[in-house]
Amino acid sequence: MNELPIARERSGHIGDAAPAMMVDEFTGRTLTGFARLLFAISAIVVTCLSLNQLLNLQLLVGVVFIENRYLYLLAAALFPLIFLVFPAHKNSLGHIPWYDWLLAALAYGLLIWFALQAERILSEGWEYGAPRLAKVFAGILWLLILEGLRRTSGWPMTVIVGVFSLYPVVAGAIPNPLKGSPQAFDDTLAYHLASAESAFGIPMRAFAEIVVGFIIFGIALNNTGGGRFFNDLAFALVGRWRGGAAQVGIVSSALQGSISGSVISNVISSGVVTIPAMKRSGFRADYAGAVEAVSSTGAVLMPPVMGSTAFVMASFLGKSYGEIALAATIPALLFYIALVVQVDAYSARLGLKGLPASELPKLSAVMKDGWLYIPVFAMLVFLLVSLQEEALAPFYATGLLIAINQALPSHRMNGAQLIDFAVAVARGLAELVAILLAIGFIIGALSVTGLAGTLANDLVYLAGNAPLVLLVMGALTSFIFGMGMTVTACYIFLAIVLAPPLIKAGLDPLAVHLFIMYWGMVSFITPPVALATFAAAPLAGVSAMKIGIQSIRLGTAIYFVPFCFVLNPALLFIGDPPTVTIAIGAAFAGVIVMAAALQGFVLWIGQIPNHIFGWLARACMIAGGMLLATPSPRLTGFSFAANLAAGATLAAAGLLILSLSLHATEKRRITP
């Protein structure tokens, strides 16, 4: 399940063929004829609707675009497309059957009807007292949304959402602490489709206000050759390093994913170049696939865009985007530093070299060809950070990107490619809408029963008011709900259900929201789901499970770093400057030591041997690294300074043991 469709690079670009071969596996039917035209028109309509709402353009004279009407119209332009692009079963991947056209028309008609009733819905309070016809239409639309979810996310997710959505019907019969205020079946369905707390609640509002623009920008970036530019830039910068092909994969994926926000399309568009290059350089196929899967997953956690989830988080916390991006910077860098150190250690152990200069593009040539992206990114960052125009920034950036791209003959898209771009936008937006509407059902069920308000207290009680226990519970919950969900959808749900109890336990709100976002990403590289590894498997030519096992080891930081910053908020620049500076320096030292120990090689010292002293050195380094990265009194009961001292001592002891062990081994080797 990907968040953005995989957009094919223009002819002649690196990696042109392979991504195109992979498209249908992740995005359904190949659209032709009238359906293709319909998708392109839908993309234009959605863009106009969004800009009309954001800029108050009043394009439709006499029509009042109150919020719920805008959301219904946005859904009407996108949700019906799900039935045209995602088949009911694998055997209907070819032409669109009549019943899918019928379902699309039915969904469109129902959503337009609700849009026309928008003012009545508000003035007459339909969420609690809808007329009979509205209840019937709500029931049909509820079924259509569940079917749309099944087509995009599969049966398991559909069953979970379906059961949760009907929880209000049986809420009165469920024992405490999950007991809630019961609702009749028809009233529950009306609440889901008419209230501002369910399908058209927080998830859809966040999508409509912020996410639309960033999805359009990410797809524009891909369709104008951004993926090729990022790959070439990474090759030029780090291709000569030890294990250079893998380091290229890390840098390229970090650059692409931080903008596009799609793990799956990032794996494919970057991996089609980097995975074969890693294999040619001597990396095992499963290791090469794991490097790409892990680095692509971590990229969604990297500013500036963070898969657009940062903007949803900002609305939840009432903070500016700049604050969110700044706080997310150190954790993301810790993740990538750990990955770079592990890849370097692996390369050193196997004696893998960098790529020859003859195979690498020159940095000057890369920048000469891709200079158009520099003013675009500069504008995006300026609007986001300086002017705090989170909603409009991606639209302006997209406009500038397309204007420059079309002005350059060597980059210009022709008419067919522009339609490809519009179709890709509609597909990406429609898929996310189907998921967010369904996720809204869960939030609505908790809201109408009153459980959302009491669940925080109940979870804190079950955890015995122990923050660490609650964090572990939260990590497992985030992991489970991250299976098959988009990053944004998973985050929105957990921000409603899980964040309040963690905050109530005394943890920093910003740290908590980043924590659940990180753990929502874990399922992308953790078997049995591990969607990123399944995307990498065909490119690596090895099973997804083998890649998944390697990914767990390589991606250790994604499991560990969230506990670091949630227990030590100084890593998010929260606290006085001396504490923040010491905490960040110690965290980088700790993560580097841990990564080296896990991979079995320490720079300037050598390979960790597989005997008692080697294992003792590893244990000391890992324990010391953990204390350096998380010197929290909540973890050990000791003071911040005492934990830092203990961590530094253990890490130094591990390095000393390793040095003495290797020295003794070398001495025995050369002694006759």
Where b means 16+ CB within 10 Å and e means fewer, 363-376 reads: eeebeebbebbeeb
- Tell which residue, 555, 513, 512, has the closest CA to residue 530: 555
pLDDT < 70 stretches in the chain: 1-27, 61-62, 64, 257-262, 305, 307-308, 452-453, 455-457, 459-461, 463-465, 481-486, 671-672
The reported pLDDT for the residue numbered 1 is: 35
Burial letters 377-400, b for 16+ CB under 10 A, else e:
eebbbebbbeeebbbbbbbbbbeb
Q: 245, 279, 231: which is closest to 354 by C-alpha?
A: 245
Residue pair 307/488 in contact by the 8 Å Cβ criterion: yes
What is the token pair recorded at 654?
Answer: 């591990």
pLDDT of 43: 97
Q: What is the pLDDT of residue 15?
A: 34
Q: Which residue has the tokens 């090759």?
A: 235
Strand pairing of 606-607 and 601-602? antiparallel
Is-contact 280 551, C-beta < 8 A? no
Q: Do 227 and 256 touch, CB atoms closer than 8 A?
A: yes
pLDDT at residue 61, as a whole number: 67
- The greatest distance separating any two alpha carbons of the chain, rounded to the nearest whole angstrom, comes to 97
Listed residue (492, 373, 392) closest to 440, CA to CA: 492
**CA 631 – CA 636 distance, rounded (Å):** 8
Encoded tokens for 232: 């070439």
Model pLDDT, residue 5: 36
SS (H, E, C) 345-392: HHHHHHCCCCCCHHHCCCHHHHHHHHCCHHHHHHHHHHHHHHCCCCCC
Residue 142, pLDDT score: 98
Q: What are the Cα distances from residue 548, in Å, to 116, 275, 340, 346, 514?
A: 49, 15, 18, 17, 24
Q: How many CB atoms lie within 10 A of CB 83?
A: 27
Q: Which residues, including other chains, have CB under 8 Å from residue 72's CB and lie 6 or more apart?
A: 111, 112, 114, 115, 118, 200
**Contact status, residue 108 vs residue 76, Cβ threshold 8 Å:** yes
Helices marked H in 408-466 — which ranges? 415-449, 451-462
Q: What is the pLDDT of residue 502?
A: 85
Which residues have C-beta within 8 Å of that of residue 470, sequence separation ≥ 6? 459, 460, 463, 501, 502, 505
d(CA 661, CA 470): 41
**Which residue type occupies 403?**
A
Tell whether the torsion through CA atoms of 22, 27, 28 and 31 is positive or negative: negative
Cα separation, 242 vs 346, whole angstroms = 10
- Find the helix or strand (DSSP H, E) in which 257 lies: helix 244-260
DSSP, collapsed to helix, strand or coil, labels residue 177 as coil
Q: How far apart are alpha carbons 359 and 158 in whole angstroms?
A: 48
Q: Can you give the residue ranges of every domain in the chain?
A: 17-200, 208-413+433-569, 575-672
Q: Which pLDDT score, from 0 to 100, does residue 9 have? A: 36
Q: What is the pLDDT of residue 644?
A: 95
Q: What integer pLDDT is reported at residue 14 of this predicted model?
A: 33
pTM score above 0.85: no
d(CA 421, CA 225): 12
Q: Which of 619, 489, 498 is nearest to 566 (CA)?
A: 498
Instruction: Sort 208 into a burial class: Cβ within 10 Å, 0-12 / 13-18 / 19+.
Output: buried
- Residue 602 β-bridge partners: 606
Selection from 612, 624, 610, 611 nearest residue 655 by Cα = 624
For residue 666, the Cα-to-chain-centroid distance in whole angstroms is: 47
Following DSSP, what letter does each residue of 290-308 receive, concatenated?
HHHHHHHHHHTTSTTTGGG
User: Can you say how many angstroms the Cα of residue 77 is from the centroid of all Cα atoms in its chain?
Assistant: 25
pLDDT for position 477:
75
Separation CA 20–CA 150 (nearest Å): 24
**Exposed e or buried b for every residue in 401-440, given b needs 16+ CB within 10 A?**
bbebbeeeeeeebeeeeebbbbbbbbbbbbbbbbbbbbbb
Nearest to 491 by CA among 203, 155, 128, 76: 203
pLDDT at site 385: 76
Alpha-carbon distance 527 to 483, whole Å?
Answer: 10
User: Residues 6 or more apart from 505 whose CB is under 8 A from it?
Assistant: 460, 463, 465, 466, 467, 470
Please check whether residue 524 is in contact with residue 290, taking contact to mean a CB–CB distance below 8 angstroms.
Answer: no
Query: How many alpha carbons lie under 13 Å from residue 528 in its C-beta half-sphere?
Result: 0
